[in-house]
């Protein structure tokens, strides 16, 4: 299986696949590969990830609640049903305004990229 920690052949609501915990950020890895990760997160209110950068593009899909996303110093308020992309190598941070759940997809450069020196 490529997608782990997830029941296959069954219709589910993503938001029900992870639970809030008081004062914590909870994560559940669904895909962990060298070129891609897919992770569910549940943030309690006011919990957050401090400023950092990723080697890949990080796409946030909000499942429940609202959060402040800061990308390269610009603040965005994002809520249920909305999506934002945090570009690779650009500093970003996420803080829950309300209890907040998201699906995070990170697409990274392929490790084996090379140019053919044919001929």
- Sketch the domain layout of the chain as residue ranges: 14-107
The pLDDT value given to residue 1:
79
| Protein fold of 14-107 | Jelly Rolls (2.60.120)
The pLDDT value given to residue 110:
81
Query: What counts of helices (H) and strands (E) characterise the chain?
Result: 0, 9
Task: Spell out the per-residue pLDDT of the chain, length 119, in tens.
Answer: 799 999 999 999 999 999 999 999 999 999 999 999 999 999 999 999 999 999 999 999 999 999 999 999 999 999 999 999 999 999 999 999 999 999 999 999 986 554 444 44
| DSSP-H helix ranges across the chain | none
Question: What is the rounded distance in angstroms from the CA atom of residue 106 to the CA atom of residue 87?
Answer: 10
Question: What is the rounded distance in angstroms from the CA atom of residue 119 to the CA atom of residue 103?
Answer: 45
Provide the Cα torsion 100, 105, 19, 74; round to 10°.
-20
Looking only at Cα atoms, what is the longest distance across the chain?
Answer: 61
Structure tokens at 97: 């305004």
């Amino acid at each position: 299986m490529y997608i782990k920690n997830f029941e296959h052949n069954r219709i589910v609501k993503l938001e029900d696949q992870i639970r809030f915990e008081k004062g914590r950020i909870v994560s559940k890895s669904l895909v962990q590969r060298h070129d891609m990760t897919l992770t569910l997160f549940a943030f309690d209110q006011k919990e957050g990830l401090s400023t950092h950068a990723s080697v890949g593009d990080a796409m946030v899909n909000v499942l429940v609640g609202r959060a402040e996303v800061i990308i390269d110093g610009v603040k965005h308020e994002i809520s249920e049903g909305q999506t934002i992309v945090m570009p690779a190598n650009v500093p970003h941070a996420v803080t829950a305004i309300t209890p907040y759940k998201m699906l995070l997809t990170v697409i990274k450069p392929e490790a084996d990229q090379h140019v053919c020196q044919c001929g």
